[in-house]
Chains A and B, each alone.
Chain A
Amino acid sequence: MPKFMLIMRATDEGRAEYESIDFEEVIAAMGKYNEQLLDAGVMVGGEGLADDVHAVVDFSGETPVVTDGPYGETKELFNGFWMLEVASKEEAIEWATRAPLSGPGTKLEIRRVTGPEDFPQDNEWIQKENAWREENAGR
């Protein structure tokens, strides 16, 4: 069964509007939504992202350039994600439409998470990455 990431994105405008909603309300709505995902047995992970720490490493030039955020030309910020294990893209979309989000420019992007089947397992670097994953397996 494939995994999908639901990626929360918002413009500054949308964020400002979202932040004007009572924080308790936001927490309650998010909590309820997370409960629904857990009750349905589809949630396998998720995190929110803070905006107090922000830096960008830009690889456009010959050497990486580090700047403080926000991202130069990009108007949208990545605020958090859910990881869902569901049967189809449509099921991931169905869950996404139920997320308690609102505001101009607020979006949920749905992406499939890659698995071992997406990579040639006989590749030396893929094998090294597998070994690395194993060593760094967070207990």
Chain B
Amino acid sequence: MTDRPGAVAAGERSPAAVRRTVEAVWRIESARIVGALARYTGDFALAEDVAQEALAEALEVWPRDGVPNQPTGWLLTVGRRRAIDSFRRRATRADKYAEVARGQERARLEDEAGLPWDPDTIEDDRLALIFVSCHPVVSKEARVALTLRVVAGLSSEQIASAFLVPVPTVQARITRAKKTLAAARVPFEVPPVAERAERLGSVLSVLYLIFAEGSSASGGQDWMRTDLAREAIRLARILARLMPAEPEVHGLLALCELTAARFPARTGADGEPVLLADQDRGRWDRSAIRRGEEALARAVSVGRGLGPYGLQAAIAECHDLARSVEATDWERIVVLYEALGRVAPSPVVELNRAVAVSMAYGPEAGLRLVDDLVAGEVLGGSYLLPSVRGELLSRVGRTAEARTELELAARLCGNARERSVLVAKATALG
């Protein structure tokens, strides 16, 4: 926490501007504030409640009285006071005086030290917060909502608009999640080594889910979706700083950076999706590519090999560094998909491998793999398989079959924009 040189008088800035300042401080400090309060109270749900109360109070008071000298300290003090109030209320209900005494003692000690939190434990608190928010006892949707609210410092309104759900839905998810965590007696801590790998897997999947949601093509008004993807990247960067020895954390960060690097080119002037092959590669974000490469290099340098996220990042890197589709190192991509298929087998990976094989060794080779997938009856009902098959059939000159497949793909496709691309392709075959 840093001192602000001087309070900004309320009159100097409009209430709306002060409100945005409150939100900015909250984004920067919410994880530390909720983390410190959770450690202080030993109660994650209570910490989240009182932190939100402190935020609400700031939104009311700061526009009137001005931004305090130490905004973070102010929020923490209010949160702590509310926590003590809550302890007192509980004590009157059930005789829990020891708990109050302990809380007050802690508050007094921390006040005397003049430090709102212990610098030695801040990082652990933030990490514990991430692990608790992504705990497997909580539903996937709630993990996402909780992580965005307590770790990223977003409001329920922002989360709701990003996920296109009503605000009460988000609030209900968070409330239920906190109840579940309390019922399951989930401790506020970084999980012990024995559980670390599994719990980290849950954290990474939550971050990736946020990223994937934010990067899904939604046409036209996609600014908020992109912001959601950026939020996931910010969280992945935070996690990479907190857990530098975990290759998959760097792998996930690299995957997100290398994928987001292509965002500026993925939609056309009318919001229509532009396929990788047709993208103006000059619009790709070179600095994002460089950051992705650096993150991938860190994943490699840990020396434990690449996991599923790292391998997907390596594939994304092959695309990002290629000048064109033709100049892409498809043979390397084939090898990477083979590795990915072994550590994280899935029909989608196999389908992507088939595409890579067709690019590296010709459409016939790719078609053989796709036909195996068809015979295996995987990916039934998905438009992806007929869309790829149609494309490969057209390349080997089996035009009539190609058109049938593309028409099937168009029927199965749920996204209107993508469907029109498929229809156009089928029509072009005459």
The answer to whether the Cβ of A138 comes within 8 Å of any Cβ in the partner chain is yes
Residues of A within 8 A of B230 (CB): 1, 85
Q: Pick from A41, A86, A88, A130: contact of B282, CB below 8 A.
A: A130
A87 touches B21 (CB 8 A): no
Residues of A within 8 A of B242 (CB): 39
The answer to whether the Cβ of B106 comes within 8 Å of any Cβ in the partner chain is no
Alpha-carbon gap, A131 to B24, bound state (A) = 36
Interface residues on chain A, number (Cβ under 8 Å): 35
Known contacts: A127-B282, A133-B282. The answer to whether A41 contacts B234 by CB under 8 A is yes
Residues of A within 8 A of B233 (CB): 41
Closest partner residue, chain B, to A87 (CB atom): B27
Known contacts: A90-B20, A93-B24, A94-B25. The answer to whether A39 contacts B238 by CB under 8 A is yes
Q: Pick from A45, A85, A90, A133: contact of B24, CB below 8 A.
A: A90
Q: Pick from B5, B17, B241, B281: contact of A97, CB below 8 A.
A: B5
Q: Pick from A42, A117, A138: contact of B234, CB below 8 A.
A: A42
The main secondary structure of chain B at its interface with chain A is helix
Stretch at the interface among B181-189, B192-200, B283-291, B333-341: B283-291
The answer to whether the Cβ of B414 comes within 8 Å of any Cβ in the partner chain is no
B290 touches A138 (CB 8 A): yes
The answer to whether the Cβ of A12 comes within 8 Å of any Cβ in the partner chain is no
Instruction: Give the number of A-B contacts (CB < 8 Å).
Output: 85
Closest partner residue, chain B, to A116 (CB atom): B264
Alpha-carbon gap, A127 to B265, bound state (A) = 12
The answer to whether the Cβ of A72 comes within 8 Å of any Cβ in the partner chain is no
A134 touches B24 (CB 8 A): no
Q: Pick from A41, A88, A121: contact of B23, CB below 8 A.
A: A88
Q: Pick from A1, A94, A115, A137: contact of B264, CB below 8 A.
A: A115
The answer to whether the Cβ of A91 comes within 8 Å of any Cβ in the partner chain is yes
Alpha-carbon gap, A115 to B230, bound state (A) = 15
Alpha-carbon gap, A92 to B390, bound state (A) = 49
Residues of A within 8 A of B236 (CB): 41
The residues in B between 251 and 287 inclusive whose CB is less than 8 angstroms from any CB of A are: 264, 269, 280-284, 286-287
Residues of B within 8 A of A91 (CB): 23-24, 27-28
Closest partner residue, chain B, to A42 (CB atom): B234
A45 touches B287 (CB 8 A): yes
Alpha-carbon gap, A59 to B25, bound state (A) = 42
The residues in B between 222 and 254 inclusive whose CB is less than 8 angstroms from any CB of A are: 226-227, 230-231, 233-238, 241-242
Alpha-carbon gap, A136 to B16, bound state (A) = 43
B28 touches A41 (CB 8 A): no
- 23 residue pairs bridging A and B, Cβ less than 8 Å apart: A1-B231, A1-B234, A38-B237, A39-B241, A41-B237, A86-B27, A87-B24, A87-B27, A90-B17, A90-B20, A90-B23, A91-B24, A95-B28, A116-B264, A116-B283, A121-B283, A127-B282, A129-B282, A130-B280, A131-B282, A134-B281, A134-B323, A137-B289
Show the binding face of A for B, using Cβ within 8 Å. 1, 38-42, 44-45, 85-91, 93-95, 97-98, 115-117, 121-122, 127, 129-134, 137-139
